Amino acid sequence: MTDMSIGRAVKRTEDLRFITGKGHYLDDFSRPHQTYAAFVRSPHAHAEIKKINKTKALKVPGVVAVLTGDELAADKIGTLICGWVIKGKDGSPHKAPPHPALATKKVRYVGDHVAVVIGETLDAAKDGAEAVEVEYRTLPAAVDTASAHKPGQPQLHAEAPNNLCYDWEIGDRAKVDAAFSGAAHAVKLQFVNNRLVPNAIEPRAALADYDTGSGEFTLYTTSQNPHVARLVLSAFIGIAPEHKLRVIAPDVGGGFGSKIFIYAEETVALWAARKIGRPVKWTAERSESFVSDAHGRDHVTTAELATDKDGKFLAMRVNTVANLGAYLSTFASAVPTYLYATLLAGQYKTPLIYCDVQGVFTNTTPVDAYRGAGRPEATYVVERLVEEMAAKLKIAPDELRRRNFVQANEFPYTTPVIHQYDCGDFQRAQREALRVADVAGFAQRKADAKKRGKLRGLGYSSYIEACGIAPSAAVGSLGGGVGLWESATIRFNPTGNVSIHVGTHSHGQSHQTTFAQVVADRLGVPFESVEIVEGDTARTPFGMGTYGSRSAAVGLSAVSKAADKIVEKGKKIAGHLLEAAPQDIEFRDGKFRVMGTDKEVGIAQVAFAAYVPHNYPKDLEPGFEETAFYDPLNFSFPAGTHVAEVEIDPETGTTEIVNYSAVDDFGTIINPMIVEGQVHGGIVQGVGQALLEGAVYDADGQLASGSYMDYTMPRADNVPSFKVETIVVPSPLNPLGVKGCGEAGAIAAPAAVMNAVHDALRAVGVDKVEMPATPHRVWSAIRNAKKKAAK
């Protein structure tokens, strides 16, 4: 083991370029003779486009072209797609109305794309966009999630009556109903899972180039998955055959899901680049990001939990209306179904679960995967129910959880909602969390707070998530249109250094460091001699990209398999060089050795022999490069317990998180420093959801929270520090035993914080506060409870 091995807090090799301003993000790129794109966007949530008049715009100095949806359609550019088909209760596929990259007849949300203006300069393009005259006939808008599919609402799409995309279910309704009618206790909650704006600090951007000589397109774009972008843009949207389109995603400034999807802007930029014969560059302004990056969450849920007299869970019944926005984004349909309801068992042995979900269209920005994607929503359902049940039964919430946890000796454990958990130790994570959070001292802290006039509350979140998405056959059987394997090429160069080409993409996840740690460890080469190549379809094998905490569990498994192949080939070469049979060669610490002897040869020397094969096995190909594809056997299941402790000032309604502790099981840890950073970031996004953030639409469908002035982002002075620890139960199902850590914080934190808020407010008679629990909401809830008590 070296200081760079798996498990060590190796400092990031990415950082020198980032701390010195030498990162290469999309807007830092330019192409010779490039033009700039500005989009004309709908100011209305719902309207017919009566007429688009380009005349004035074309007269603006520096305007090169003004292009509309009719021209896009005439050029046979396809509509944007959703790659996952959900089948409803009656077996029918979901409704996927056309989603044109530039609207033709109707606009369906504020920010919807109406036309694009190409200018010699950005200012010319923007002035041109201002000058495009669009005549609209405004229509009433359907905005509210809960009522969008009810009778009498404005209709978005002729293809989707009652704005219903699907009415989907999982589980046996009759059995669940029967369990409820025989249950000793039940609780029922209704709540909103608030809509969030992802807000990667780097705005989305695209730079499209068309080479008239070769007929090849190059797209530089802010993507978490450049190969998926290429596939969709070629196979479905029809920009170019796949081999004529190269997609490059350089340094990307955060994604959180919002840069998975294939959007109108890159589609239009590619098409326009060919049309005008010049490169086209577009970078979102922040106000565009707010209205056009796919949003997250936005559920309205009714959830019930039934127990026997001892608090043993009998059944769970959940109904959710999920707002999908105006059109189906790339993976939108799967998020509130297979990424959500399949996690409703949580860490518990609830034997019967039923959930049905109505996915609805509204005149709002499309909603898709955002950090956690369905699993934060599921955790919120489960953990709020458990906490309320504990209060009702007057059982300590940690005790009620223990009574229902899947036990460490019960894995693999199959839930009633599809998943088979491979391994875990929920009790241990909880036990450690209780210690880290000093739960034993809470009663005293609460009493002390009371003396100061403050309300203290403690909240748990014992979450589980499904990561490492996903076995391709399973995805296919549930309606997914893609395989979700990963790939890696390990290329030894003749001089002995190593290039690793992978299909994942790092936009904050630190692959350049962690992947190199794994390769250095497995192949015994110096950490510094390993280079990670990502983010360019021309330089990497096909891969599905980075999201769903999959890069370690799936991507590194592919790297690991490729390393096995390297070792296997190396043994043949080494055997030849050492005059021994390959089966007598062992590989350790970068050296091939004849077993039981001191005859050995280093891997760099073997690599050299493979490229200069003067003395080489006759029947062996030269070269020292291996590619592996890895399709996971199962999802991986990170889990843990987070404990939030809050203090509320009843006079102002402000909530302060005074302690936050997390104990997570991510399986094998490759780099603890990086894992901590991932957990911290996730927790703050979860805290943001619980206390600060919320996308607010008015009744007309205008996004009221459309800027950083109106949408409250967590800042350094409004979030706490954390106590973060891990336990390690390695996954038996992948070579490294890893599970994934990128989303855990965002999944666990909203429930932990809100359980703490409810715990604190129970003392003053408040039974419900919605997220975000802003000071105004908390203060109002306290005041209303007082009024009610006085009556």
Partner 1 sequence: MIEVELAVNGERETVSVDATQTLLDVLRTKLGLTGTKIGCNQGVCGSCTVLIDGKPARSCLVLAAGCRGRAITTIEGVGTADAPSPVQQAFIEAGAVQCGYCTPGMVLAAEALLRKTKRPSVPEIREALSGNLCRCSGYTKIVDAVKLASERAAP
> Closer CB to partner 1, residue 10 or residue 525?
10
Can residue 508 be called a binding residue for partner 1 (CB under 8 A)?
yes
The token pair at 81 is: 């797609």
729 contacts 668 by C-beta, under 8 angstroms = no
Nearest Cα to Cα of residue 230 among 244, 247, 214, 213? 247
Total number of residues that touch partner 1 (CB under 8 A) = 59
- Residue 64 CB, shortest distance to partner 1, in Å, is 19
The token pair at 438 is: 């000093």
> Closer CB to partner 1, residue 397 or residue 535?
535
- Residue 253 CB, shortest distance to partner 1, in Å, is 3
Can residue 507 be called a binding residue for partner 1 (CB under 8 A)?
yes
Can residue 757 be called a binding residue for partner 1 (CB under 8 A)?
no
The token pair at 114 is: 């109406």
768 DSSP β-pair partners: none
CA–CA distance, 502 with 554 (Å, rounded to integer): 11
- Among 42, 283, 655, 731, interactor with partner 1 by CB under 8 A: 283
Residue 29 has a CB neighbour count (10 Å cut-off) of 15
Can residue 85 be called a binding residue for partner 1 (CB under 8 A)?
no
Can residue 203 be called a binding residue for partner 1 (CB under 8 A)?
yes
Can residue 201 be called a binding residue for partner 1 (CB under 8 A)?
yes
CA–CA distance, 210 with 214 (Å, rounded to integer): 9
> Closer CB to partner 1, residue 88 or residue 119?
119
Can residue 684 be called a binding residue for partner 1 (CB under 8 A)?
yes
In this structure, which amino acid lies at residue 205?
Answer: A
> Closer CB to partner 1, residue 11 or residue 312?
11
C-alpha pair distances (Å), 516 with each of 385, 527, 590, 627, 676: 43, 6, 14, 16, 19
- Residue 774 CB, shortest distance to partner 1, in Å, is 18
Helix (H, G, I), strand (E, B) or coil at 668: coil
Residue whose structure tokens are 């001892």: 310
**CA torsion through residues 164, 166, 169, 170, sign:** negative
- Residue 289 CB, shortest distance to partner 1, in Å, is 9
Can residue 32 be called a binding residue for partner 1 (CB under 8 A)?
no
* DSSP-assigned states of every residue in 557-610: HHHHHHHHHHHHHHHHHHHHHHTS-GGGEEEETTEEEETTSS-EEEHHHHHHHH
Which DSSP symbol is given to 371?
Answer: T
Can residue 644 be called a binding residue for partner 1 (CB under 8 A)?
no
> Closer CB to partner 1, residue 88 or residue 742?
742
- Among 1, 74, 158, 709, interactor with partner 1 by CB under 8 A: 709
Q: Among the candidate windows 12-20, 459-467, 521-529, 753-761, which touches partner 1 by CB under 8 A?
A: 12-20
CA–CA distance, 757 with 778 (Å, rounded to integer): 9
Can residue 288 be called a binding residue for partner 1 (CB under 8 A)?
no
> Closer CB to partner 1, residue 199 or residue 634?
199
Can residue 11 be called a binding residue for partner 1 (CB under 8 A)?
yes
In this structure, which amino acid lies at residue 768?
Answer: K
Can residue 543 be called a binding residue for partner 1 (CB under 8 A)?
no
Can residue 253 be called a binding residue for partner 1 (CB under 8 A)?
yes
> Closer CB to partner 1, residue 314 or residue 746?
746
- Among 696, 708, 776, 784, interactor with partner 1 by CB under 8 A: 708
The token pair at 404 is: 């229902």
E strand segments, 653-771: 655-665, 723-727
Can residue 16 be called a binding residue for partner 1 (CB under 8 A)?
yes
629 contacts 486 by C-beta, under 8 angstroms = yes
Can residue 473 be called a binding residue for partner 1 (CB under 8 A)?
no
Q: Among the candidate windows 35-43, 63-71, 407-415, 712-720, which touches partner 1 by CB under 8 A?
A: 712-720
Order of strands, edge to edge, in the sheet holding 299-307? Answer: 164-170, 352-361, 313-325, 299-307, 185-193
The β-bridge relationship of strands 133-138 and 352-361 is: unpaired
Nearest Cα to Cα of residue 286 among 196, 204, 371? 204
- Residue 525 CB, shortest distance to partner 1, in Å, is 23
Nearest Cα to Cα of residue 559 among 501, 505, 483? 501
> Closer CB to partner 1, residue 388 or residue 676?
676
> Closer CB to partner 1, residue 2 or residue 708?
708
Can residue 531 be called a binding residue for partner 1 (CB under 8 A)?
no
- Among 47, 646, 662, 674, interactor with partner 1 by CB under 8 A: 674
- Residue 684 CB, shortest distance to partner 1, in Å, is 4
The token pair at 93 is: 């596929």
Q: Among the candidate windows 177-185, 339-347, 355-363, 501-509, which touches partner 1 by CB under 8 A?
A: 501-509
- Among 349, 599, 680, 762, interactor with partner 1 by CB under 8 A: 680
CA–CA distance, 490 with 469 (Å, rounded to integer): 23
- Residue 510 CB, shortest distance to partner 1, in Å, is 7
Can residue 19 be called a binding residue for partner 1 (CB under 8 A)?
yes
Can residue 412 be called a binding residue for partner 1 (CB under 8 A)?
no
Which DSSP symbol is given to 27?
Answer: G
CA–CA distance, 157 with 219 (Å, rounded to integer): 31
Query: Interface with partner 1 by CB under 8 A: which residues?
Result: 9, 11-12, 14-23, 25, 27-28, 198-203, 251-254, 256, 283, 285-286, 507-510, 673-674, 676-685, 707-709, 713-719, 721-722, 745
